[in-house]
Structures are given as structure tokens and as C-alpha cells.
Chain A
Amino acid sequence: MTGGAPMTGPTNGPMTERRTVLDVRGLTVRLPDGADRRHAVEDVSLTVGAGEIVCIVGESGSGKSVTAFTVMGLLPKQQLRPVAGQILFEGADLLTKSAAELRAMRGERLSMIFQEPMTALNPVMTVGDQIGEVLDIHTSLDRGEREQRVLEIMDLVRLPDPKAMLNAYPHQLSGGQRQRIMIACALVLDPALLIADEPTTALDVTTQAQILKLIKEMQERRGTGVLFITHDFGVVADIADRVVVMQRGRVVESGTADEILRRPSHPYTQMLIGSVPSLHPPARAPLHHAPVALETRGLGKTYGGGGFFRKDRTVKAATDVNLVVRKGETLGIVGESGSGKSTVARCVVRLIDPTEGEIYLHDAEVAKLSASLLRKHRKRVQIVFQDPYRSLNPRQTVAESIIEGPMNFGVSRADALAKARELMTLVGLEPDAVDRYPHQFSGGQRQRICIARALAMEPDVLIADEAVSALDVSVQAQVLELLDDVRKRFNLAVLFITHDLRVAAQICDRIMVMHKGKVVEEGSTAEVFANPREDYTKALFDAAPGRGYEFGGVRAAE
């Protein structure tokens, strides 16, 4: 029955009488034998009406993506198999359709956009052809009409100068523009259902706000039903009509956005929403008199240059960064990707060599020290990285990772091991777990181990480079709490690098906002959040998803 589905235009009637586009009933998808549980999703039921945005929200492993891919018929067949339930799309069960029938519907009646706009587009095909491909598959337009349709949809998704962009390749576009191309591909044939799988997670916050606005606008205009997968309650607050909360493959709660966000009834939902950091910074006592642990003056890093035949293309990753972190204080550096915030962190640890300026650890200037002279200063600054899965050597036990540093400075193996066990307890893990390998721990636990490794050096300065960004929101809250706890206990100076305003609001005493390699604004967290002075800072704060809701702050500060 390809293309023979009853054609119904967008409903223009009152929102209460929505036509149901998608009706998933009791869907169960089997995992392969030997997985940690039997079903990827179990007994999942949900509906999406025309012109409605339904968010599935959940942490990693909740089964939200599997649900979406099952509807699209894009599951890896050998590994995941739907074994029970129905997926009624415009009245017909998708699970009973043949591969060819499903293929004919994909792209035309139901379409999908994905998380990574960087990789979701074919790198060797022009974006015009990639949109046109959908038309080639499902229609028989001639060249002129085809180009006309492509230009129309590119214009609709607000791409600048569609005519010029038609022949561009994906790598020539920004992340936001690529996601617009994806949306154009998905909506060019006016599908009844759009599935969006974390479509803004990989984007910067300002771009995210624009894309969310675009999805909402397109969907309202065309009456498309949207199934929106996300882990971010801020995004949910901004666009959802209704919300479905999933946990370990099951739906734990569903309702209107307002009900779920303001009056969650299930304990899991309550915990999730309670874990979302508030955008309002708690009151913090300033630390003007504490001794300075870390200071940079005019710090800069320029990449490129050199090479006889290369064009002199240099990139200023960071320029003229002046920062001061006192003992017991947390300084946040906030910015989007490419702002230079991580460059600053890596310069301070001397993982990269700064090209300008000075770095003082107490009184010692370390910016230009040679490797051998730098050695004794290494222990003063320690860093925790973003990716918990790559931060520990998978081939050695956790103990080996923790004692490596102290042993470099002459601590005996026995003493270092005793210290490692002690630190494991401190970061909330079993001391005996030091003999295990990293793969036996979850992401949050690994991040705790990385903190223990850093503390083993008894540093003065701890740098957290997006240290909680890869974690689920509930785990994130716990690790943040641990970081703040060790700061107090050891009177550490913490340099906290993050793109997440909510996290920054909760943990930082002062923040610096970076943009294109420069510091554009700095001040106490409360001050900057309440009264941003610079246009860029204002735009950044305006873009933060879920501003309208006050989520439960995790951390009641001092």
C-alpha cells in the first residue's frame, strides 16, 4: 500500500481534537542474549498527535533511542528485534509492513533527524543533492522543479543564500547550518511524523536555541507530529507539549509538559528533575583574602604558522587571558565550542605550550619552563578530563593509575597504594576496587577515580575540563557534589571549564565568559547571572534552554 495512506492535510481545528499520527502500543524489543537485560524496551506505549511535540526523556540506556529507531524501521536487525506490540502509524501497523513498504514511507510520510549533524550528512555530496535525493526517491519531478523545491525548503529552514549554498559540501557549513540541511531533508516532502533524536545535543547553546525554534515553527506551520528524543529537561521545557519519561526500557510516567515538569509523580522523575542544576546561583561568600594559587597574565596560544609552502594561516585559540584563582575558590570559564576555554586549561597544565604570557603557581612562573624544570611543579596542578571512558588506561588496574603520580615523586609503592585505597573511600568507592580494571566501572565511577588520581598528587590547583559534561544528569549532580566537597576539604583552587550555564551557576564562585579566544566578561557568579553586561553574555544566557522553569537546585551552598 505504498503511498496509498489516507492523505489528510494538517489539522487546523482546535488543539484538543488532534488526529493521532503515531500510536505505539505495548512495544517490546528484545536484546541479544548476553546483554545486561532482556529487553531494550519493554511494553512501551505512547501516542503522537498531528501538530504535537512529544518528548521522550531519559538517561543513557533508557531505551529512548531504540524506541525511535524501531518506529523508523532502522534497527540493526541482527541485534535488536521487536517481539511484541504494535506501531500504528496513520492507522496501519508498521511492524507488519515489508522492508520495501517501510522504505517507501521513510522520507515521505515519516522522517528523522539525528544527533550529529557533523556525521549525518554525506561528506562527498553537495547539500543540494542530499535534499534533492529525497525528491528523487519519492517523486518524479524534473530537474527544474526539483531544484525549485530544494531552494524553497532551504529558504524555509532559514539558510542564508540558498542558491549559493546549493553546491556547498557539508564541511563548508557550520554545525547549525548542517542541522538545518538535515531538517530540510526531513521536511521537504511534508511528512506526517518527524522523529528527532537528540537533534541539538551536539550543538552550542545559541545554535541549539535557534534550531529548537525552527523545529517548533516548521512543525506548527505544517501540522507535523514530532517525536523528540532528549536527555535535557531544559529542552523539554522549551518545546514539549507532552512528555514521556523512560527508565531502563520502560515508561515510568507520561503527561503534559507542565504536569511532568511542575508536579512529577514518579520518584524517578522527581529525582531527575531535582538533579537539574538551577540557573540561579546560590549566595557565596567572596574569598578576597585567601592566597592566590594560580594566576595567568596575558596568556595566549596561537596555532599554525611555519612551513615554507603553506599559507600563513594562524589561529588564535586564546589571547590575553588574565585569571586569578585563590585557594578554596572555584573559578568557572564558560563558553561555547571554539571559545578557547579548554586551550586555557591545557596551557595551565602545560599539556600544550602557551605562545604568550605568564602562568604563576604561587610565585613560580611556569609558562616557559623546560620539561625537566617543570617536573617539580607538575604535582601542583592536576586535571580531570571530559571523557571518562578514555581517561584511564584500560590495560592497567585503577591502583596503577592512581599511584603512578606519587611514585614519580619518590613515594614508595606500599605508601602510594595505602593512599590510593584511602582516596577511593574519599571519592565514594570501595577501597578494594583499586584492583579492578576501568571497564568494570560506570562513567560516573570512572570520573570519581580520575578525581582520586588527581588528589593523590596533593595538588593546590584542580582543573576540571568539562569533567561532568559526558555524564547523565543524576550522576552529574553527584560528581559535582564530590568536586565541591574535595575543594572544601583540601582548600583547593578549582578552575572549572564548562559549556553548561546551569552547572556553572551552581559550582562557581566567580565566572569568566570566553568568546572566540577572548575573555568578554568576568565577575562573581551571582553578579554575572543577574546582570550580564556584554551582548554576547546576554545572548548566551537568553539561549539557555528551560529558562522559564525553576528546577530543583541540587546544591544548597554554604
Chain B
Amino acid sequence: MTEQTSSAGSRRRSGPWSLLAGHPIGIIGAAVMIVVVAAAILAPLLGTSDPIALNPVNRLKHPSELFWLGTDMYGRDVWSRVVYGARVSLTVGVSAAALSVVFGLLIGMVAGYVRWLDGIVMRVMDGLMAIPGILLAIALVSLSGASIVTVIIAITIPEIPRVVRLVRSVVLSVREEPYVEAAISVATPVTKILRKHILPNTIPPLIVQATYVCASAMLTESFLSFLGAGTPPEVPSWGNMMAEGRLFFPLAPWIVLFPGVALALTILAVNVLGDALRDKLDPKLARRI
């Protein structure tokens, strides 16, 4: 239709919960995430024992009333390890998301607004994107020594270029908006224009992107552990559990199965939550991907 309709009411201010209203799958995703986060925080209270202590007497026990999800080849309780594993995955996922958003936002704003830097910054980002993220992470971890911090840094670096590209594209399109030009013509300083007029536009897509980075970081962490280049083997991460348990898969499938399900379910929940937020916060991006 050619008629313009008044866009009244298109932008309502509302609390975070109403974001998911009318999005049942998103609500399920959020609920699963709340359960996972709660489990990670309350781990000692959930009938768990020490997830690291070896207990060779109880090796490879089937799931039972005593060991809800069975025990592994060193006699460690799988339930306890799965619950504590949530701490590792969430730490990695959330840290990677936060770090990549912070750095991506800074670099993307600069690239989008300072024209002469744009070319250089974007070539560097193109270069980083060209290096397969997992290989880069493997190389970083295997050389710097395995620790959670190294793993987080190694996972974050390959994620940054995508955030930079996203922020830059928002900045480039918003800076052409007449309201930004109006701010320029009333002599608003560049830093204030970036902060007041441009930054707010990057937030909704960044929230969505952060959920995707979080999911992808948890996935990469499990890949690294699986290849033996992730968190130190004694850390009860889901990836480590599966990597160690894979040799015993035919004998004791629960060692691999339960952390696998926990990992897939958590990543699924984060992804679904991200999709729901995208539909609400950023319908334009919803179209793009």
C-alpha cells in the first residue's frame, strides 16, 4: 500500500519479561536456562558429591538410586559432574559473549565512524574470520597451556569479527539517518552522537548476537575438550566428560550420553531464547538471518 500508516505504538517501553510474551518456544528456552543457571549456582545443594574425587571402588556403576546417572571409569558420580559441568559451560559461554560484545562494540563503533580506520580494521577482521575458529583456538590453547581463562580467550577471539561487522553495519546505516545529521548540524560532539544516537541502536541486535555467541562458545568449548585441547582434564566440563567417556561408550553409554544431552539442551535453550529475542527486538535482523 502506498498510504503511510502512523507508526504510533510501534515502540513501547516494557520490562524484560514482556519481551517473550506470545512466544511460547522462547518462554520454554528461558525456563530451561533458568533451571540450568539455578543448578550451576546451587550445585552443592542438589544431592551432589565431590565431582573430582576419584573412587575406584565404584567404577562404571549403572544409574541407580545411589548414583542417579551412574558413575564413570574413575568411580566419579556422573550426576554431580553434570551439575558442576553447568558451571564450566555457563562460565565459558557468558564470558565469551560478554568479552566479544565489549570488544566488538568498541572496534565496530570505531570502524563505523572513523572512516580512515575502517578499511584497516575490516581487513584485519576479514583475516581473523578467514582462520577457522576452532583451529585458532586449538593452536592458542595448546601453546599457552590449558586453563579456563585461555579457553575463554581462545574462543572469544574468533567470535569478535562477527560482532564487529554487526556493529559496524548498524553504525553505517544509522549515521545516514536524518536525526543523526540533525545532531551534527547542532554541533553535537562526535562522542555524544555515538553515545546518544548510535549506541542505543546497536543494543537490541547485540543482545541477540550475545546469545548466539554464548551458544557457539559452549559448543566450541566441548569441541576443544573433545580434541584434548580444552579445559584441563580434571575440570568437570561436559566436553571433558564426553572426551574421557568415549572409549567406554559401548560399555557405559551413560558417561557420554548425560553430559551430551545436558550440553545439547543448554545450547538449544540459548539458541531458542536468542531467536525469540531476535523476533521481538530486531525484526529487521530476523529477516536477515
Do A and B interact directly, with beta carbons closer than 8 Å?
Answer: yes
- What are the residues of chain B within 8 A of A440 when measuring CB–CB? 8
Q: With A379-B187, A381-B185, A382-B185 known to touch, is A391 a contact of B179 (CB < 8 Å)?
A: yes
- For B, the interface residue count at a CB cutoff of 8 angstroms equals 27
The answer to whether B1 touches A65, judged by C-beta atoms less than 8 angstroms apart, is: yes
Residue of B nearest to A381 (CB): B185
The verdict on A385 contacting B5 (CB below 8 Å), with A396-B196, A409-B187, A439-B11 known, is no
- Nearest to A61 among chain B residues (CB) is B3
A393 is an interface residue with CB less than 8 A from chain B: yes
Contact in complex: A349, B179 (CB < 8 Å):
no
B178 lies within 8 A of chain A by Cβ: yes
User: With A378-B187, A379-B187, A408-B187 given, is the CB distance from A450 to B3 under 8 Å?
Assistant: no
Q: Is the CB of B189 within 8 A of A393?
A: no
Contact B197 A439 (CB under 8 A): no
Is A552 positioned at the interface, with any CB of B under 8 Å from its CB? Answer: no
Residues of B within 8 A of A134 (CB): none
Beta-carbon contact of A385 and B8 below 8 Å:
no
**A69 and B177 alpha carbons, distance in the complex (Å):** 32
Taking a contact as CB atoms closer than 8 A, the residue among A69, A350, A390, A408 that contacts B186 in the complex is A408
* Cβ < 8 Å to B, chain A residues 87-120: 115
Interface residues in B130-176 by Cβ distance below 8 A to A read none
| B55: Cβ under 8 A from any A Cβ | no
* CB-CB nearest in chain B for A400: B196
Complex partner residue of A439 from B9, B178, B182, B184, CB under 8 angstroms: B9
How far is A443 from B5 in the complex, measured between Cα atoms in Å? 10
Which residue from chain A places its CB closest to the CB of B186 in the assembled complex? A405
- Which of B5, B8, B185, B189 touches A61 (beta carbons < 8 Å)? B5
Q: How far is the CA of A136 from the CA of B11 in the complex (A)?
A: 45
From 1 to 31 in chain B, residues with beta carbon under 8 angstroms from any chain A beta carbon are: 1-11
A383 close to B (CB within 8 Å):
yes
A-B contact pairs, 13 of them (CB 8 A): A60-B3, A62-B3, A379-B187, A383-B185, A385-B178, A390-B178, A392-B182, A395-B200, A396-B196, A404-B196, A439-B6, A450-B182, A453-B182
Q: Does B50 contact A (CB under 8 A)?
A: no
- A359-380 CB mask vs B (1 if < 8 Å, else 0) is 0000000000000001110110
Instruction: Name the residue of chain B whose CB is nearest to the CB of A346.
Output: B181
Tell which of B10, B181, B197 touches A351, judged by Cβ atoms closer than 8 Å: B181
Are the CB atoms of B179 and A69 closer together than 8 Å?
no
Residues of A within 8 A of B178 (CB): 385-387, 390-391
Q: How far is the CA of A176 from the CA of B22 in the complex (A)?
A: 46
From A375, A408, A437, contact of B11 by CB (8 A): A437
Residues of A within 8 A of B2 (CB): 65, 115, 197-198, 201, 229
CA distance A401 to B197 in the complex (A): 10
Is A493's CB within 8 Å of the partner chain B?
A: no
Q: Is A512 an interface residue (CB 8 A)?
A: no
Residues of chain A within 8 A (CB-CB) of B197 are 393
* B11 with A457: CB separation less than 8 A: no
Partner of A457, one of B7, B10, B186: B186
Q: How far is the CA of A115 from the CA of B2 in the complex (A)?
A: 8
Task: Mark B88-105 against chain A: 1 for CB-CB distance below 8 A, else 0.
Answer: 000000000000000000
Interface 1/0s, chain A 200-219, versus B by CB < 8 A? 01000000000000000000
Cβ-defined contact, A351 with B179, below 8 A: no
Question: Is residue A36 within 8 Å, beta carbon to beta carbon, of the partner chain?
Answer: yes
B188 touches A404 (CB 8 A): yes
Using A439-B7, A439-B8, A442-B6 as known contacts, say yes or no to A69 and B1 having CB atoms under 8 A apart. yes
> Is residue B183 within 8 Å, beta carbon to beta carbon, of the partner chain?
yes
Question: Can you list the 5 inter-chain pairs with the closest CB atoms, starting with the nearest?
Answer: A405-B186, A378-B187, A385-B178, A391-B178, A393-B179
- The secondary-structure label for the interface of chain B is loop
Interface residues of A (CB under 8 A from B): 36, 60-66, 69, 115, 197-198, 201, 229, 349-351, 374-376, 378-379, 381-383, 385-387, 389-396, 401, 404-405, 408-409, 437, 439-440, 442-443, 450, 453, 457
**Cβ contacts under 8 Å, B179 to chain A:** 390-393, 401
Closest residue on chain B to residue A64 by CB atoms:
B3
Within 8 A of A (CB), among B96-119: none
**Which chain B residues border A60 with CB–CB below 8 Å?**
3-4
Residues of A within 8 A of B4 (CB): 60-61, 389, 443
Identify 18 new A-B residue pairs, CB closer than 8 A, beyond the known A408-B186, A439-B9.
A63-B3, A64-B3, A65-B3, A229-B2, A350-B185, A376-B187, A379-B186, A383-B182, A390-B179, A392-B179, A393-B196, A404-B196, A408-B187, A408-B189, A409-B187, A439-B10, A442-B6, A453-B182
A465 to nearest B CB, angstroms?
9
Residues in chain A near residue B196, CB distance under 8 A = 393, 396, 404
Whether the Cβ atoms of B1 and A36 lie closer than 8 Å is: no
Min CB distance, B60 to chain A, in Å?
58
CB distance from A97 to the nearest CB of B (A): 22
Q: Nearest Cβ distance between residue A462 and chain B, in whole angstroms?
A: 11
Residue of A nearest to B4 (CB): A60
Q: Would you give the shortest CB distance from B235 to chain A, in whole angstroms? A: 43
**CA–CA, A443 to B187, complex, Å?**
25
Look across to chain A and name the residue whose beta carbon is closest to the beta carbon of B180: A393
Q: How far is the CB of A34 from chain B (nearest CB, A)?
A: 9
Nearest-neighbour CB distance to chain B for A62, whole angstroms, equals: 7
Taking the closest CB of chain B, its distance from the CB of A227, in whole angstroms, is 14
Mark out the residues of chain B between 217 and 275 whose CB falls within 8 Å of any chain A CB in the assembled complex: none
The distance from the CB of A484 to the nearest CB of chain B, in whole angstroms, is: 22
Smallest distance from the beta carbon of B203 to chain A beta carbons, Å?
A: 10
Least Cβ–Cβ distance between A335 and chain B, in angstroms:
20
Instruction: Indicate if the CB atoms of B177 and A375 lie closer than 8 Å.
Output: no
Instruction: A437 to B201: give the CA distance in the assembly, Å.
Output: 16
CA distance A389 to B185 in the complex (A): 18
Interfacial chain A residues near B183, Cβ < 8 Å? 393, 404
Contact A405 B187 (CB under 8 A): yes
> In the complex, A393→B197 CA distance in Å?
7
Beta-carbon contact of A378 and B185 below 8 Å: yes
- Chain A residues lying within 8 Å of B10, measured Cβ to Cβ, are 439
With A65-B1, A390-B177, A393-B197: A351-B184 Cβ-Cβ less than 8 Å: yes
Contacts of A457 on B, CB cut-off 8 Å?
186
Is the Cβ of A351 less than 8 Å from the Cβ of B5?
Answer: no
Task: State A350–B185 Cα separation when bound (angstroms).
Answer: 8
B286 CB, nearest partner CB in chain A, Å = 18
Chain A residues lying within 8 Å of B201, measured Cβ to Cβ, are 395
Closest to B203 in A: A395
Chain A residues contacting B181 (CB-CB under 8 Å) are 351, 383, 385
The answer to whether A351 touches B188, judged by C-beta atoms less than 8 angstroms apart, is no
Whole-angstrom distance between the Cβ of A92 and the nearest chain B Cβ:
26
Q: Mark B44-68, 1 if CB is under 8 A from A, else 0.
A: 0000000000000000000000000
- Check A378/B1 contact, CB under 8 A, given A390-B178, A390-B179, A439-B11: no
Q: What residue in chain A is nearest B174 (Cβ atoms)?
A: A393
Q: CA–CA, A351 to B175, complex, Å?
A: 11
- Residues on the A chain within 8 Å of B11, using CB: 394-395, 437, 439
Residues from chain A with Cβ under 8 Å of B185 in the complex: 349-351, 378, 381-383
Across-interface contacts of A376 in B (CB, < 8 A): 187
Q: Tell me which of B4, B181, B187, B200 has the highest count of chain A C-beta atoms within 10 A of its own C-beta.
A: B187
Instruction: State in angstroms the CA–CA spacing of A197 and B3 once bound together.
Output: 11
Interface string of B186-227 (1 = CB under 8 A from A): 111100000011001100000000000000000000000000
Q: With the chains together, A379 CA to B186 CA distance in Å?
A: 6
Please measure, in the bound complex, the distance between the C-alpha atom of A63 and the C-alpha atom of B3, giving whole angstroms: 8
**Closest CB of chain B to A350's CB: distance in Å?**
8
Bound-complex Cα distance A396 to B188 (A): 15
* Complex Cα–Cα for A443 and B4 (A): 10
